[in-house]
Structure 1
Amino acid sequence: MQGIIGPGNVAPDIIGATGTPDRGTIMHTLDQLNAMPPDAFAATLDGVFEYAPWVAEAAARRRPFASVTALHEALMATVHDAPADRCLGFLRSHPALSAIALTDLTLTAASRTEQAGLAMSGLDDQIAQFEPACSSYETRFGFPFIVCVRRQTPRFVLRGLQRRLINTPDQERAAALVEIGHITRLRLVDRVHGPGMPPTSGHLSAHVLDTVRGKPAEGIRIEVWREGVLIQQAVTNQDGRTDVPLWAGAPLRIGRYELRFDVQDYCSGWPDGNDAPSSNPISSNPISLNPISSDPPGTHPTGPDPPDIDPPWHDVIPIRFGVAEPEGRYHVPLLLGGFSFTTYRGS
């Protein structure tokens, strides 16, 4: 099943989960938090940790904080240092992850926005596996399945659920706290700004080089697809890059991606070889995607420039890859040859 982006070139499944604060959220500086009375400090951070005001109340006694990262570490240390029964109660207070849970009137605004932004309908035929797996999980461990949905696609949320079902109770309590760390870090940066911000955003960019003429390729339309949903599109400029990154300012969800480079019109204008060099002026060290050829000398794909043919050899070039680091940098260059292309993960 495939979807198309809506107005503003943003996929429906990322609305409300892009790292932008809710409209009612007031941003505070770290200096302001450090200077607040303890009760005001706790009230400002209310909701960062689900139904657990005691976390911020305890962290207030550790001020001042030199960075937002240090603030988050202190909040998480409070949870880790809590007695086992209090920590278990904290885990149990988290809402279940399901379409049914979205109708729960006690669901916090942050949880509602995060779960709605996941778009579980993207699981298609696998959606029927999700509710029973969540029920089995809660029966086995005594608390709901907890995952930072802003960092994963629906398919990888389900995959993680299935993998974590085999954990021991101790392993799973640790795994749940790691996910709470991710959840609360994103919620915190939605509310607090200051020095030492923790990393919460991924980066995806691309670059197209015309190795036939030895220059950047301008005017190439690039589409970004994530598991069947078009989430972004852009056109390369005179430098062969897009004016802004293909993705920035939010986690790059764990999942499968595809960049589609529409090069057909660009290749239709290639010269017949009279005004372009016969050798490749751009060198690199990526793994070549050229097939092994048995063509005789003088006709190998890396030889003379391609003739101006219609239709051209290339049309849309898809490059598929997996994202495992939501806060990582992914750069995907495309080195476009006459009858070949090369790609790799750059920086």
Structure 2
Amino acid sequence: MSRITLSDLNTASAADFVAALANVVEYSPWIAEQVAGQRPFAGINDLYAALKAAIQSAEPDVQLALIRAHPDLADKTQRAAGLTVESNEEQNSAGLDRLSDAEYAAFERVNNAYRDKFGIPYIVCVRRHSKDSILRDFETRLRNIAKTETRRAIEEIGRISALRLDQLVIADDRLKVHGRLSTHVLDNHSGKPAPGIAVELVELASLGESRVIARAVTNDDGRTDQPLIGGRPLPIGRYELKFSVGKYYAERNVSMSDPPFLDEIPLRFAISEPEGHYHVPLLVTPWSYSTYRGS
């Protein structure tokens, strides 16, 4: 996706403005057409507010058409027929392109149940979720009434469009759509940060395979050079951080049992705030460890 500056959007012809923003909302260039006349926008937050207002103020039948323009999640037939580039990337980011048979069956069941009850596709901002989280959200929302789900679908379309806009437009201000997951390791045996410890972040799955999200090695400050997740939302879900501490202590000639009492340490935790900051440190000795949610 080629990016464009807000200043260029502000000075572009109406046709070019609409073409640039055409897929910020799925198959709905009419939204960009409505806000083109409101330029210039002082920042990306002002542009997003205008797009969101256009969606929320649309007539009910127009909103319903907008909702129905969105694809089902993890639908093999729709994927084979072709999704928009944006939808394809978003579904892939949650691992919906590589589901187990059990996961496909679960998604097919809830997709059908949702359409049967509400007559619209289930819409969720998948970049804020893991596979397990989406399935839980499906089950929760199936208990709602149609009016609630129409309102929720519009809210989720707003979240999707915010993330697409964030990826597309370069501006001095930023939309608050990103979270951050970080860690550090403190060697309580020496009282110093622990460099050189291999760290692996795994997204846990109930029905399919868990998947590795990130790998890193701690630096001289005991931290990773980059956040384990950054520059995007933190998908709601369950995770495991694995720290290879046995090798770290062996390289420092620390007296340990054979095999070592602590070799690879797993920390399991959950993320519920996609735009939040989660700092999950490890405080470790050859015989003990602890953690907490830091800031």
The answer to whether the Cα contact below 8 Å between 1:268 and 1:310 also exists between their aligned partners in 2 is no
Where does residue 212 of structure 2 map in the other structure? 230
Note the residue ranges of structure 1 that are not aligned, 5 or more in a row: 1-24, 273-306
Where does residue 273 of structure 2 map in the other structure? 325
1:204 alignment partner, one of 181, 194, 200: 181
Cα deviation, 1:69-128, whole Å, max 9, x if unaligned, reads 1111110110100111111111112122212210124x3222223224433344552431
Distance in 2 (alpha carbons) for counterparts of 1:327 and 1:158: 20
- CA-CA distance at 1:164 after TM superposition: 0.6
One-letter amino acid matched to 2:293: R
1:34 alignment partner, one of 3, 6, 10: 10
Task: Calculate percent identity across the aligned residue pairs.
Answer: 44
Residue 252 of structure 1 pairs with residue 234 of structure 2: yes
Where does residue 56 of structure 1 map in the other structure? 32
- CA-CA distance at 1:186 after TM superposition: 1.4
Change beyond 3 A, Cα 1:317–1:242: same
Where does residue 309 of structure 1 map in the other structure? 257
One-letter amino acid matched to 1:261: F
Where does residue 246 of structure 2 map in the other structure? 264
SS at match of 2:229: coil
Larger relative contact order (Cα-Cα within 8 Å, sequence gap ≥ 6):
1
Cα deviation, 1:285-331, whole Å, max 9, x if unaligned, reads xxxxxxxxxxxxxxxxxxxxxx5433332111110111112222111
Distance in 1 (alpha carbons) for counterparts of 2:3 and 2:253: 55
One-letter amino acid matched to 2:112: S
One-letter amino acid matched to 1:159: R
SS at match of 2:182: strand
- CA-CA distance at 1:269 after TM superposition: 5.2
The answer to whether the Cα contact below 8 Å between 1:268 and 1:309 also exists between their aligned partners in 2 is no
Q: Which has the larger radius of gyration?
A: 1
Note the residue ranges of structure 2 that are not aligned, 5 or more in a row: 205-209
Distance in 1 (alpha carbons) for counterparts of 2:251 and 2:23: 57
SS at match of 2:15: helix
Q: CA RMSD, aligned part only?
A: 1.8
Distance in 2 (alpha carbons) for counterparts of 1:118 and 1:214: 39
One-letter amino acid matched to 1:148: C
The answer to whether the Cα contact below 8 Å between 1:204 and 1:331 also exists between their aligned partners in 2 is yes
Residue 69 of structure 1 pairs with residue 45 of structure 2: yes
Count, aligned residues: 288
The answer to whether the Cα contact below 8 Å between 2:256 and 2:286 also exists between their aligned partners in 1 is no
One-letter amino acid matched to 1:322: A
The answer to whether the Cα contact below 8 Å between 1:217 and 1:238 also exists between their aligned partners in 2 is yes
Where does residue 20 of structure 1 map in the other structure? none
One-letter amino acid matched to 1:264: G
Superposed structure 1 runs of 4+ greater than 4 Å apart: 269-272
- CA-CA distance at 1:271 after TM superposition: 6.6
1:143 alignment partner, one of 110, 120, 127: 120
SS at match of 2:265: strand
- CA-CA distance at 1:238 after TM superposition: 1.6
1:344 alignment partner, one of 266, 279, 292: 292
The answer to whether the Cα contact below 8 Å between 2:124 and 2:157 also exists between their aligned partners in 1 is yes
Where does residue 153 of structure 2 map in the other structure? 176
Residue 47 of structure 1 pairs with residue 47 of structure 2: no
The answer to whether the Cα contact below 8 Å between 1:123 and 1:155 also exists between their aligned partners in 2 is no
Distance in 2 (alpha carbons) for counterparts of 1:204 and 1:230: 14
One-letter amino acid matched to 2:5: T
